[in-house]
Amino acid sequence: MARVLLTGGAGYIASHTAVALTERGHAVFLLDNFCNSARDVPERLRRLTGRTFAVIEADVRDAVAVSAALAAFPVDAVIHFAALKAVGESETNPLLYYDYNIIGTIRLLEAMQARDVHRIVFSSSATVYGQPDVSPIQENAPTRVQNIYGRTKLVMEDLCADLARTGVLKAVANLRYFNPAGAHPSAMIGETPTGVPNNLMPYMTQVATGERPYLNVFGNDYETPDGTGVRDYIHVMDLAEAHALALEHILDNDGALTVNLGTGTGISVLEMVRAFESATGRKIPLNFAPRRPGDVASYYADPSLAAQKFGWKANRDVNDMCRDAWRWQAKRAGINDV
């Protein structure tokens, strides 16, 4: 059993990870400034798991507050989720992203060093690959960041790897997520995007509830089987379980590791829409729009390194993602026939 701090602990991926860690017997402690999450998440987690989670309201950029939190709740490792994640916003407000993501990570690492915590799992993103030459993408593919958000993720990865190389950290796992989707099957926790969702699944669920009139499909002339963009969607509970296994790996193994977390299967936008319609019985009106600049035709992971290093593979498919995302969104929208 390990004691672990989740920064950004009330967020979408962290809250699901808290469930997976608890199921594996770990003691979890949440730190969040609630800039992009609801304050009732810890209470939802308590009802879901039957366990009460210690929660500290603090900003990771505040090394004194994080250090005090680590003194109050000594941990074996940190899983660092706290970050801003909207690609568009990162281009209009780059300093904000450097501040939250890079300065925030430095302050956290300082606090960890002060409290003798030397192991970290870090939330990175497949966005660091930019336009890949081929899919499936392996971890040694070139990194070609295309926006400030991606840049901050790559800098944070390098920061953690440098600290592992120089002995400040003992172990690091940089986890490159592909496209997280879905929710816990209980519909007690899920994704709560603020404003217009950037990602396909939350947008589609809001179309299904009637909150939005149609789904924009950006580009249907890509060189893919049906012309629409292909991505590697991964169920958030598979992702959560990967964090638990990565944590257990870095507790026993020193050094720096960078791994992809995806299913290894590419799904097109139209395939996802069809899966959603059949899993939920709801029709999704479509609006075909031009390609968005910077969008890639197709990318999906080679997830074999995660299997080899810590025995992880995705167990859930797009139907599970659609069903669980819909249960969560329908419940929030007060729709009961799910």
**Contact flag: residue 130 with ligand NAD (CB under 6 A):** no
**What are the φ and ψ backbone dihedral angles of 256, each rounded to 5 degrees?**
-110, 140
**Contact flag: residue 177 with ligand NAD (CB under 6 A):** yes
**Contact flag: residue 150 with ligand NAD (CB under 6 A):** no
Which residue is at the shortest CB distance from ligand NAD? 11
**What are the φ and ψ backbone dihedral angles of 189, each rounded to 5 degrees?**
-135, 155
CB 258 within 8 A of CB 157: yes
Which residue among the candidates 12, 100, 129, 149 is catalytic per the annotation? 149
Alpha carbons 192 and 44: distance in angstroms, whole number: 14
Q: Interaction with ligand NAD in 36-95: which residues (CB under 6 A)?
A: 36-37, 59-61, 81-83, 85
Label the pairing between strands 54-57 and 27-32.
parallel
Q: Give the list of residues 6+ apart from residue 277 with CB closer than 8 angstroms, or none.
A: 283, 284
- CA angle 127/313/85 to nearest 5° reads 25
Per CB under 6 A, the segment of 30-38, 69-77, 283-291, 309-317 that binds ligand NAD is 30-38
Closest approach of Cβ 94 to ligand NAD, in Å?
A: 15
> Among 5, 8, 117, 150, which residue interacts with ligand NAD (rule: CB under 6 A)?
8
Choice between 100 and 276, CB closer to ligand NAD: 100
Catalytic-residue membership of 149:
yes
Per CB under 6 A, the segment of 6-14, 139-147, 225-233, 297-305 that binds ligand NAD is 6-14
Closest approach of Cβ 201 to ligand NAD, in Å?
A: 10
Alpha carbons 92 and 263: distance in angstroms, whole number: 32
Alpha carbons 3 and 54: distance in angstroms, whole number: 12
**Contact flag: residue 247 with ligand NAD (CB under 6 A):** no
Alpha carbons 120 and 242: distance in angstroms, whole number: 14
The tokens describing 327, both together, are: 């249960």
Q: By the criterion CB under 6 A, which residues form the site for ligand NAD?
A: 8, 10-14, 32-37, 59-61, 81-83, 85, 100, 104, 123, 125, 177, 180, 199
**Residues marked as catalytic:** 149
